[in-house]
Amino acid sequence: MRRFVVKPADADPAADESHLAELEPLDDTGLFVAEAADPRALVEQWKGIAWAAPTLGGEGDESYPTGEVSIRFGAPLEADDIEAFTRKHALELRRHNEFVPEQVVVAPSEPCGTWLPDLVERLNGDDVVDKAWPNTKSRYRRV
């Protein structure tokens, strides 16, 4: 079984979200941790999932994707170029990195059934992108 993080889509009051009751909440983030043999298939089947992504790391040092993706371009882009880029990839610009002008943080603008590894792979295939990676939240335990 593979562990993964799920972000429920904005709940429609009439929608049946009972499948989420079996998932483990991830603190107060609005995210849930789940296990499945094929998480990608679940994302494609469930209409109530905005996005999902596999957890990173191993037991005891697991990191959880937040739904945001950091992108470092090969060179700083003008505001119009960033807007065109985000529109092309159906992304929402969240913020610029104040210390690295060629880096931004984005999220899917219409996150319905998005498998984040596919998004990151697609972004890394774009010629203007130097590197794209999922932002994560980590939880540590003392042993």
Arithmetic mean of pLDDT, 121-129: 97
Q: How far apart are CA 40 and CA 36, in angstroms?
A: 9
Q: How far apart are CA 82 and CA 8, in angstroms?
A: 28
Query: What are 38-93's pLDDT values in tens digits?
Result: 888 878 877 788 899 999 887 667 899 999 999 999 999 999 999 999 999 999 99
Burial of 75 by CB count in 10 Å (0-12 exposed, 13-18 middle, 19+ buried)? exposed
Using pLDDT thresholds of 50, 70 and 90, give the confidence band for residue 36: confident
Arithmetic mean of pLDDT, 4-28: 69
Could you say which of 3.30.930.10, 3.40.50.1580, 3.40.190.10, 3.30.70.80 is the CATH number of the domain covering 65-138?
A: 3.30.70.80
Break the chain into its structural domains and give their ranges.
2-62, 65-138
Contact 38, 52 (CB under 8 A): no
